[in-house]
């Protein structure tokens, strides 16, 4: 994005908001990532960048077991997120709510390109809506955890994030959502990747303040 790897942008954003210890969980193309950051990010002197590579994939939540020994609140995020989120506000919100996990969430609209029909049990129409829009809340791929969450993740067992959330809820733990209206895109698909390129070029300092650009 803007002639930079998306990870470079994310790390600079985190540095701007005061994060000092950053761990990259790497797998596919890990050698390229290490090569790019082989000397760290030289102009960010206060950032300690380290890596963890799993011998076998353990899922989007199982990989958190490598953080055993954590004693403080910590942030986890996907490596393909372009956002102007204020991470300080996210963590403040998390602490105010007192949950074990906070999930950054964004509103998404989906337009159905056809007329939508609703009927009763006898197939008599009760409503007809032409190309309606539905709105729903989606995960931004940005999370704040309390270290106690690690007790719910067994070592060397495959566990994806949705299953972890279900496990926490079943055990009565408090999981909350952080409503975010800042710009956000998951660049995992081509359409959003192209849009991210355009938006970043138009307003790059909204994503990377000059102090870390």
pLDDT digits (tens, 9 = 90+) for 6-21: 999 999 999 999 999 9
Q: Which pLDDT value is given to residue 39?
A: 66
pLDDT band at 52 (very low <50, low <70, confident <90, very high): confident
Which DSSP category does 17 fall into? T
For 136-190, what is each residue's pLDDT tens digit? 999 999 999 999 999 999 988 899 999 999 999 999 999 999 999 999 999 988 8
Residues 69 and 155: their CA atoms lie apart, in Å, by 13
Provide the token pair at 194: 């192209």
**Phi, psi of 41, rounded to the nearest 5 degrees:** -110, 100
Kind and range of the H or E run holding 133: strand 133-145
Question: Sign of torsion, CA 137 158 76 185?
Answer: negative
- Which domains occur in the chain, in start order? 1-53 (no CATH), 59-206 (3.90.550.10)
Measure the CA–CA gap between 61 and 166, rounded to whole angstroms. 12
Find the length of the chain.
Answer: 213
Residues of the chain with pLDDT > 90: what percent? 68
pLDDT band at 211 (very low <50, low <70, confident <90, very high): confident
The one-character DSSP state at 189 is S
54-64, pLDDT tens digit by residue? 878 899 999 99
Least confident of 37-51, 84-98, 193-207: 37-51
Q: What is the predicted pLDDT for the residue at 96?
A: 98
Backbone torsions φ then ψ of 35, nearest 5 degrees = -65, -40
Q: What is the pLDDT of residue 40?
A: 61
Q: Distance between CA 14 and CA 6 in Å, rounded?
A: 12
């Amino acid at each position: 994005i803007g002639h930079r790897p998306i990870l470079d942008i994310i790390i600079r954003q985190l540095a701007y908001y005061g994060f000092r210890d950053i761990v990259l969980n790497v797998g596919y193309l890990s050698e390229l990532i290490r090569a790019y950051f082989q000397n760290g990010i030289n102009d960010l002197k206060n950032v300690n960048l380290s890596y963890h590579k799993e011998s076998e994939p353990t899922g989007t939540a199982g990989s958190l077991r490598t953080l055993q020994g954590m004693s403080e609140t910590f942030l986890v995020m996907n490596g393909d997120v372009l956002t102007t989120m204020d991470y300080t506000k996210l963590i403040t919100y998390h602490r105010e709510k007192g949950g074990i996990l906070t999930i950054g969430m964004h509103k998404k609209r989906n337009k159905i390109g056809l007329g939508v029909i609703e009927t009763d049990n006898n197939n008599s129409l009760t409503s007809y809506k032409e190309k309606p829009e539905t709105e729903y809340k989606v995960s931004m791929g940005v999370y704040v955890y309390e270290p106690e969450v690690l007790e719910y993740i067994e070592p060397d067992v495959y566990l994806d994030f949705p299953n972890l959330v279900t496990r926490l809820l079943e055990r009565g733990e408090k999981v909350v959502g952080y409503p975010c209206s800042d710009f956000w895109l998951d660049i995992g698909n081509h359409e959003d990747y192209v849009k991210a390129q355009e938006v970043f070029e138009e307003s790059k300092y909204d994503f990377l303040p000059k102090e870390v650009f």
